[in-house]
Structure 1
Amino acid sequence: MSVIAILTHHRKIEDSTIVFEVIDWLEKRGHQVIAPPADRVLDFRPELRAEVRKLVEETDFLIAFGGDGTILRAAEYVYEREIPVLGVNLGKLGFLTRVEPQEVFEALEAALSGNVERDRRMLLECVLESKGIAHAPRRTTSHENWVIFKGGVVKSFALNECVISKTAGERMISLSIFVDGEYFLSYAADGVIFSTPTGSTAYSLSAGGPVLSPKTEAIVLTPVCPHTLFMRSIVFSSQEVLKVVVNQEDQPISVKMDGKRVWKLEDEGEITIRKSDRYFTLLSFGKKSFYTIFKEKLLITKADESLGRRVKSGRC
């Protein structure tokens, strides 16, 4: 028997019966199904409720129903033990939720028998140090193993990105970047984004950053509206340690991990970003490759594909 956790998108569960069909399918085969506190599935199946500690310690794998945002929520529960995650797409095309509802039972058979690929994704470790750090909670499922807060030091993690930015309505911020202890450059900007290869198709891409294959390991630095003619992203080795020094005392700085865990530095401070020792494990079953999803997600046209086929066949 396996212990399988369910995580659902809070708005999409009412529009789909597949979540409940999966629960019934698993229970009929003798598996224990659990869900974290506050998940919407508990409105319909309250007996599935499990405390976070039980979920973290006992789950064999987690099924996330929703989109990529649901996967980011799942990361908060699974990173400690690298519990594998199967993402079922209930919305728009997702980079991480690759299993379509019509494929879910085939995917579950494969996952339960171990016949799926384990796609290990790099995580960022982010350490905040300041005399004044305030937690600005948004709707989040963070628990004690994901965010560690001790006095003027906060340690957290990100699957997509760590964003350091001005707070709403404030002026640009001044930041200095160090690489392995050596001063590199300074920005006057609305903020900077440090992304993983997984996060390179998210906020960093919208800010003009490059797309990295999820099979690589690197850290992408992308400035947000810098007051300079140099606006290019920079790709660092995953072995390099990056440090951001906040150069102003009279303006709070916002630090967001995956857009969910939000902190404010009320005084001058430092943020250290490095590759985490842990990974996020995605069960890869979907029949679409990353590059197929990339084309569809970013609306590469049929005309572009037609040209590509002509080039490949030598007719162009």
Structure 2
Amino acid sequence: MKVTNVALIVNKEKAPAREMGRFIVTYCREHGLNAYLLPVDAAFLGFPDLATSLHNLRQTADLVISLGGDGTLLGAARLFAEAGVPVLGINLGRLGFLTAAEPEQLEQALAQLVQGRCSVDERTLLKAVIRRRGQQVEESLALNDVVITKGAFARIIAVSCYINGEYLTTYPGDGIIVATATGSTAYSLSAGGPILNPALDCLIITPICPHTLSARSIVISGQETLRATVSSDHGDIMLTVDGQKGYPLEPEDSIVVTKAPFRARLIRLPGQCFYRILRTRLQDTPIVEGPDPDQRCKEGEEGEGTE
């Protein structure tokens, strides 16, 4: 991919962000790339001349670099997905499951970008619509998951699920998680959901602390529509999007979740693959490698292309 204009999104709460952000801007200038930032990020890094609006970034950027953790990347992916702009995540957080590079790999990652050696993975996005008394009151996108959950009170809620209008089941408990394959390694995994390859086009429905012995996660096609209705004797219910945006729900609200009409695009560096990330990020104990695991990963990638 050819890169000329780079948008930089910075998590200003991360301690190394200022130094690394300034390094990226300097690197871009030295290698013939144009760097642009939102006004707050430009002021934070000390480059007010590079400030521009989000609208302009969406129109002109060939690439977004998110400088933070997985949360920063999730926010950047939602902002730029409809414009088709790919995102490269540099991990300044704890886990960094979605990001492509660690701080010590930054210069190498930038060099690979300049050399055109990176590939792009396309990931399913969710669209969640809240309907109340027959009217749409909110709409949002999610790369990882949307979650219907009770608030602080220790009282269960009941979430009834319908697939393409057909009644599936009612989950009594703390709520449900509706995740993409990308989000299968996030909250859904913690709640007992399956791990899926992020290239899969599907939705995962996982109950949270279900008050029943028979509740299980279910995987449905990305072409299907989930409608969930909430029943509760209290009003402390929330819909959260990627763990970052929250919307209060009322009893009997309907939440309609479908695949978005466009996809998020994430940069993958040479030699990276999902199973290596899974092996290294989520392992509990050291794993003894077989012969030449890096070569196996590269061989597997040769037939992948762009997901």
TM-score range, shorter chain: 0.7 to 0.9
Please state if 1:178 is matched with 2:162: yes
Pick aligned residue for 1:187 from 157, 171, 177: 171
1:42 touches 1:48 (CA, 8 Å); kept in 2? no
The residue correspondences of 1:162-173 to structure 2 (distance < 5 A) are 162-169=146-153, 171-173=155-157
Structure 1 residues 38 and 62: alpha-carbon distance in aligned structure 2, compared to 1, 3 A threshold: same
Structure 1 residues 268 and 210: alpha-carbon distance in aligned structure 2, compared to 1, 3 A threshold: same
Shift of residue 47, structure 1, vs aligned partner = 2.9
1:111 touches 1:283 (CA, 8 Å); kept in 2? no
1:100 touches 1:286 (CA, 8 Å); kept in 2? no
Shift of residue 300, structure 1, vs aligned partner = 4.0
Q: Specify the SS of the correspondent of 1:108.
A: helix
Q: Which residue of 2 aligns with 1:136?
A: none
Shift of residue 6, structure 1, vs aligned partner = 0.6
Shift of residue 169, structure 1, vs aligned partner = 2.0
Q: Provide the C-alpha distance between the structure 1 equivalents of 2:45 and 2:102, rounded to a whole number of angstroms.
A: 24
Structure 1 residues 288 and 2: alpha-carbon distance in aligned structure 2, compared to 1, 3 A threshold: closer
Q: Which residue of 1 aligns with 2:299?
A: none
Structure 1 residues 91 and 262: alpha-carbon distance in aligned structure 2, compared to 1, 3 A threshold: closer
Q: Which residue of 2 aligns with 1:105?
A: 107
Q: Provide the C-alpha distance between the structure 1 equivalents of 2:106 and 2:43, rounded to a whole number of angstroms.
A: 18
Gaps of 5+ in 1: 133-150, 310-316
Gaps of 5+ in 2: 292-307
Q: TM-score, normalised by structure 1?
A: 0.84
1:125 touches 1:276 (CA, 8 Å); kept in 2? yes
Q: Which residue of 2 aligns with 1:247?
A: 231
Q: Which residue of 1 aligns with 2:56?
A: 54
Amino acid at match of 1:56: R
Q: Which residue of 1 aligns with 2:215?
A: 231
The residue correspondences of 1:128-143 to structure 2 (distance < 5 A) are 128-131=130-133
Structure 1 residues 260 and 37: alpha-carbon distance in aligned structure 2, compared to 1, 3 A threshold: farther
Q: TM-score, normalised by structure 2?
A: 0.86
The residue correspondences of 1:1-316 to structure 2 (distance < 5 A) are 2-14=4-16, 17-39=19-41, 42-131=44-133, 152-169=136-153, 171-248=155-232, 250-285=234-269, 287-302=271-286, 304-305=287-288
Amino acid at match of 2:261: D
Shift of residue 66, structure 1, vs aligned partner = 1.8
Pairwise CA RMSD of aligned residues?
2.3
Q: Provide the C-alpha distance between the structure 1 equivalents of 2:154 and 2:34, rounded to a whole number of angstroms.
A: 50
Shift of residue 54, structure 1, vs aligned partner = 1.3
Structure 1 residues 228 and 262: alpha-carbon distance in aligned structure 2, compared to 1, 3 A threshold: same
Q: Provide the C-alpha distance between the structure 2 equivalents of 1:197 and 1:290, rounded to a whole number of angstroms.
A: 12
2:63 touches 2:86 (CA, 8 Å); kept in 1? yes
Amino acid at match of 1:82: G
Q: Specify the SS of the correspondent of 2:24.
A: helix
Q: Provide the C-alpha distance between the structure 1 equivalents of 2:69 and 2:179, rounded to a whole number of angstroms.
A: 19
Q: Provide the C-alpha distance between the structure 1 equivalents of 2:167 and 2:39, rounded to a whole number of angstroms.
A: 45
Shift of residue 11, structure 1, vs aligned partner = 2.3
Q: Deviations over 1:133-161 (max 9, x none)?
A: xxxxxxxxxxxxxxxxxx64312110000
Shift of residue 25, structure 1, vs aligned partner = 1.2
